[in-house]
Amino acid sequence: MRIVLVNPRGFCAGVHMAIQVVDQLLDLVEGETVFVYHDIVHNTHVVQRFRERGVTFVEDVNDVPAGAFVVFSAHGVAPSVRDTARQRELRAIDATCPLVTKVHMEAIRYARQGYQILLIGHKDHQEIVGTFGEAPAATQIVESPDDIPSLNIVDPAKLVYLTQTTLSTDDAQVIIDALKAAFPKIKAPPSEDICYATTNRQHAVRELAPDCDLTLVVGSTTSSNSKRLTEISKNVGTDARLIDDASKLDPAWLDGVARVLVTSGASAPEDLVQELCRRLVNEFGAEIEVAELANESMEFALPKSLQDEMRTRGVDASSRRIPFGRFEVTAKTYGTVPITVSAKA
């Protein structure tokens, strides 16, 4: 059996930044409880590892004691959450991914210009809840083309669509085409809302899965972008499974499999991918082949509020920065690859 190990995979710049925020804050305020609003990223292992370090996750900022630190997750929050945190005098650190913030800014700007916004995405996803909250009166959520007939449109010439950052590019295009057919004058966002990491990970699966017999995606079922990777593989005819870690691998899936594509969602830690590869090598005699489809170099700075907190405490923020390491897992170095990112997270 051959493992086709995809690059790029795993952590994107936004997830790396959000994990660093909690990691750094825990070190900085040792002894104080750190609260995180919503799962910091949608991965059960990341959340559990932080729980073990004393982080308390909440779904309501009213559950955070007045004056305590609260981190907003990478998916972003609605202004009402920020307002409540301010009223309760919480010390908020915003770990929203800048690419999500970009969509928030677009929603605010178009609403101010009198546009109605058609927000393409999953209505229960935290990111959509946050973006919708920026301009609720002007925004309607579109989950599929079936939603189009029931939209309440005032002026078809004053319409814009925006999208969730982690959608399947294929599915989003189907909805965008349907919107353009229904409202030919609808405006597109100034630049693509589906982010670079989502696009790259999906493109890699679309290209490589047809030559494989099975795709294994390491990620949690709560992770939108991980789920999309399995769907894309299935769409090109290759069976796919989403697993949280190597222990969830069912050997029966490997019957008759000669090539297995291994990738991971943007919130899945690399050590879990390595653990899966190790199991495939040790128990099934697999050999690893690395498929490199894109080189990512995006990196985000720590939020200003955290940098300010560091300065107040006499800590040099730049010296605490963890570089966004790439994981060069090859057959040669396999098994000795250091986990350089979020070792503690």
The rounded distance, in Å, linking the Cα atoms of 153 and 144 is: 17
* HSE-CB of 187 using CA atoms within 13 angstroms: 17
The residue (of 36 and 266) whose beta carbon lies closer to ligand SF4 is: 266
Q: How far is the CB of 309 from ligand SF4 (least distance, A)?
A: 22
The rounded distance, in Å, linking the Cα atoms of 261 and 208 is: 8
Q: Which long-range contacts (CB under 8 A, 24 or more apart) does 323-327 make?
A: 323/299, 324/11, 324/13, 324/16, 324/299, 326/7, 326/296, 327/7, 327/10, 327/270
Active site residue 127: yes
Q: Among candidates 284, 280, 274, which has minimal Cα distance to 334?
A: 274
**Contact between residue 30 and residue 56 where contact means Cβ atoms under 8 Å apart:** no
Q: How far is the CB of 303 from ligand SF4 (least distance, A)?
A: 13
Contact footprint for ligand SF4 (CB under 6 A): 12-15, 74, 97, 99-100, 165-166, 195, 197-198, 225, 266
The residue (of 15 and 243) whose beta carbon lies closer to ligand SF4 is: 15
Q: How far is the CB of 162 from ligand SF4 (least distance, A)?
A: 13
**Contact between residue 210 and residue 240 where contact means Cβ atoms under 8 Å apart:** no
Residue type (1 letter), 36: V
The residue (of 194 and 277) whose beta carbon lies closer to ligand SF4 is: 194
Q: How far is the CB of 85 from ligand SF4 (least distance, A)?
A: 21
The residue (of 218 and 249) whose beta carbon lies closer to ligand SF4 is: 218
Q: How far is the CB of 111 from ligand SF4 (least distance, A)?
A: 21
Query: Residue 151 corresponds to which tokens in the numbers above?
Result: 């939209």
Catalytic residue (choose from 52, 89, 106, 127) = 127
Residue, CB closest to ligand SF4:
14
**Contact between residue 200 and residue 10 where contact means Cβ atoms under 8 Å apart:** no
The residue (of 49 and 125) whose beta carbon lies closer to ligand SF4 is: 125
Q: Which long-range contacts (CB under 8 A, 24 or more apart) does 177-186 make?
A: 178/145, 178/148, 179/118, 179/120, 179/142, 179/148, 182/148, 183/153, 183/156, 183/159, 184/156, 185/156, 185/157, 185/159, 186/118, 186/156, 186/159, 186/160, 186/161
Q: How far is the CB of 146 from ligand SF4 (least distance, A)?
A: 26
The residue (of 201 and 259) whose beta carbon lies closer to ligand SF4 is: 201
The rounded distance, in Å, linking the Cα atoms of 179 and 171 is: 13
The rounded distance, in Å, linking the Cα atoms of 56 and 161 is: 36
Active-site residue numbers?
A: 127
